[in-house]
Amino acid sequence: MDNGQDMGVRVVRAGFIPLVDASVLIAAAEFGFAAREGIQLELVKDVSWANIRDRLAFRQFDAAHMLAPMPVASALGLGSNPSAVITPFTLGRGGNAITLSVKLYRRMQALTGLAGNEDALANAEALKRVIDDMKERGEPLPVLGTTYPFSSHNYELRYWLAAGGIHPDRDVKLVVVPPPMTSDALSAGAIDGFCVGAPWNMVAVAREVGRIVAVKEDIWPSSPEKVIGVRPEWADANPETLARLIVALDRAAAWCDVPDNRRVLAEILAEPRYIDAPVDILHRVLMGRFTTDPDGHERTVSDYFTFHRDGANFPWVSQAQWIFSQMVRWGQVDHSPDKQARVATAFRPDLYRHALGPRAGIPVADVRVEGGQRQDGFIDGAVFDPQDIPAYVKGFDVHNLENPAATRDEA
């Protein structure tokens, strides 16, 4: 029980999925940041986002490593267990990439003359030409894997495809593949590409079955990736524990951001109880040093993982609303002012400020125009103003507004 007097150790049980973007949570438990705040952080590894959601909802976990769209989906009553979840802390930016099979990429090269160092938009446009060619020949359309219906991967892959003129619900087939199985699925020909988190893109390249064609930074650098999710009633009943947890995560995130710490971090992440992947791949991923294809093309993305800098942990309400805009764009839900208001309650910058402020660098606003600055621009140059989501969504050439599948289910 949380009362202000009790200075003893508080146990916080947190679920996580073995991915590099769980680093801040793992570092908080492993390198003393939680202990310093009087928190005994017990981490429980899980296998699916559905389990994470349900075990948090059914009080098996106090907190959980979650996809940023999961609290938004909960606020909208989407999914098969939409229990209330809020996030007071974003675990950072970056980490995702889109990988296509070497075979599909070779075909893009043959048709459009790609040399191998083109940008993400050029790659999407080349894929569009291959898909047009496939349609003319009556071939089956490419099958692309993501991780979960309410995932950053789903919306990023759709955003990238659409920027290249490809309709994600008509021109390709989207399926869900558990990230650790993506390389096998690619080499078996069960899928032709995927968008998942680290380290699985680089693992596919290392196994010479995949070709990275875009990273998250190419699509929208400010895009939030994973968050810490908690039940609102747990947050209300344990304000002191939550504040300490946020402080511990903040310190751990700052530590993870230091390049010199990433070797030690990679060694911990490599252990079987965490990610269970080769330490050198994890270290290269953390440093953003990519081999993009089996031909040995190299690319360094200096901000592939931003754990702390530039307000990376601040839960912008406008980012929750951007996620909502993409759910509307793709027909998962229809827009209404009431729904937009509910979405705004899923991200809780007030809790972040309460635990860490006052401090320089913490934004005073909860909402901002996203993508307006050059350094956080969207791949297609669009600018997101949460004031008018319906107009923003209608501004896209490719969308699913005329065919809202989910709204019908809701009725």
Partner 1 sequence: MSAALTIMVFDENRIRASIIEEGLREAGHDRVVVLHDIVGLARQIERIAPDVIVIDIETPNRDMLEHLFQLSRSVRKPIAMFVDSSDTASIEAAVDAGVSAYVVDGLKKERVKPILDMAVSRFKAFSRLQQELAEAKSALEERKVVERAKGILMKSRTISEDEAYALLRQAAMNEKKKLADIAQSVVMAAAMLGS
CB of 73 to partner 1, least distance (A): 9
31 vs 148, beta carbon nearer partner 1: 148
* Beta strand extents in 147-223 (DSSP E only): 173-176, 193-197, 210-215
Token pair listed for 292: 């993009």
State the nearest-atom distance from the C-beta of 150 to partner 1, in Å. Answer: 8
Element housing 41 (H / E) = strand 39-45
Question: Distance from CA of residue 393 to its chain's centroid?
Answer: 21
Q: Show the binding pattern over residues 378-407: x = contacts partner 1 (CB under 8 A), - = does not.
A: ---------------------------xx-
Please report how close the Cβ of residue 90 comes to partner 1 at its closest, in angstroms: 22
CB of 146 to partner 1, least distance (A): 8
Q: What is the CA radius of gyration of the chain?
A: 21
Residue 359: phi and psi, rounded to 5, are -155, 145
Q: 30 or 46, CB closer to partner 1?
A: 46
d(CA 171, CA 132): 9
Give the C-alpha separation, 60 to 153, whole Å.
Answer: 26
What are the structure tokens assigned to 229, written together? Answer: 């999710």
Encoded tokens for 362: 């913490």
Ramachandran assignment for 231, one of left (phi > 0), alpha (psi -120 to 50 degrees), beta (any other):
beta
CA 21 to CA 227: how far, in whole Å?
9
210 near partner 1, judged by CB under 8 A: no
Q: Does 408 bind partner 1 (CB under 8 A)?
A: yes
For the record, the structure tokens of 179 come out as: 């990230």
Q: If binding is defined by CB under 8 A, does position 273 make contact with partner 1?
A: no
SS (H, E, C) 52-69: HHHHHHCCCCCEEEEECH
Report the amino acid identity of residue 190.
A
Q: How many residues bind partner 1 (CB under 8 A)?
A: 31
Would you say 148 and 49 are in contact if contact means Cβ atoms under 8 Å apart?
yes
Instruction: Give the shortest CB-13-to-partner 1 separation in angstroms.
Output: 12
48 vs 373 by CB, closer to partner 1:
48
Among 38, 60, 240, 289, binds partner 1 (CB under 8 A): 60
Out of 175, 258, 341, 369, the residue judged to bind partner 1 by CB under 8 A: 175
CB 176, min distance to partner 1, A:
4
* Among 9, 11, 50, 369, contact with partner 1 (rule: CB under 8 A): 50
By beta-carbon proximity to partner 1, the closer residue of 26 and 174 is 174
| Of 3, 5, 80, 375, the one binding partner 1 by CB under 8 A | 80
Report the C-alpha gap between 349 and 336 in whole angstroms.
Answer: 23
* Cα 290 to Cα 284: distance, rounded to the nearest angstrom: 7
47 belongs to the binding site for partner 1 (CB under 8 A):
yes
The crossing angle, in degrees rounded to 10, of helices 239-257 and 349-356 is 80
- Tell me whether residue 59 or residue 394 sits nearer to partner 1 (CB atom): 59
Q: Considering only residues 131 through 170, tell me which ones interact with partner 1, judged by CB under 8 A.
A: 147-150
Per CB under 8 A, the segment of 54-62, 87-95, 237-245, 285-293 that binds partner 1 is 54-62
Q: Which of 11, 40, 81, 103 binds partner 1 (CB under 8 A)?
A: 81
- Residue 358 structure tokens: 């006052």
Amino acid, res. 253: A
Residue 10 main-chain phi, psi, to 5 deg: -110, 130
| Contacts to partner 1 from residues 315-344, by CB under 8 A | 332
- For partner 1, the binding residue among 6, 9, 11, 59 (CB under 8 A) is 59
Q: Which of residues 53 and 211 has its CB atom nearest to partner 1 in the complex?
A: 53
From the list 328, 321, 312, the residue with the least C-alpha distance to 385 is 321
The one segment of 52-60, 97-105, 214-222, 243-251 that binds partner 1 by CB under 8 A: 52-60
60 vs 112, beta carbon nearer partner 1 = 60
Among 6, 9, 11, 58, binds partner 1 (CB under 8 A): 58
Omega before 349 within 30 of 0, i.e. cis: no
Using the minimum distance from each CB to partner 1, give the nearer residue, 12 or 17.
17
Residues that bind partner 1 (CB under 8 A): 47-51, 53-55, 57-60, 78-81, 147-150, 175-178, 180-181, 332, 405-406, 408-409
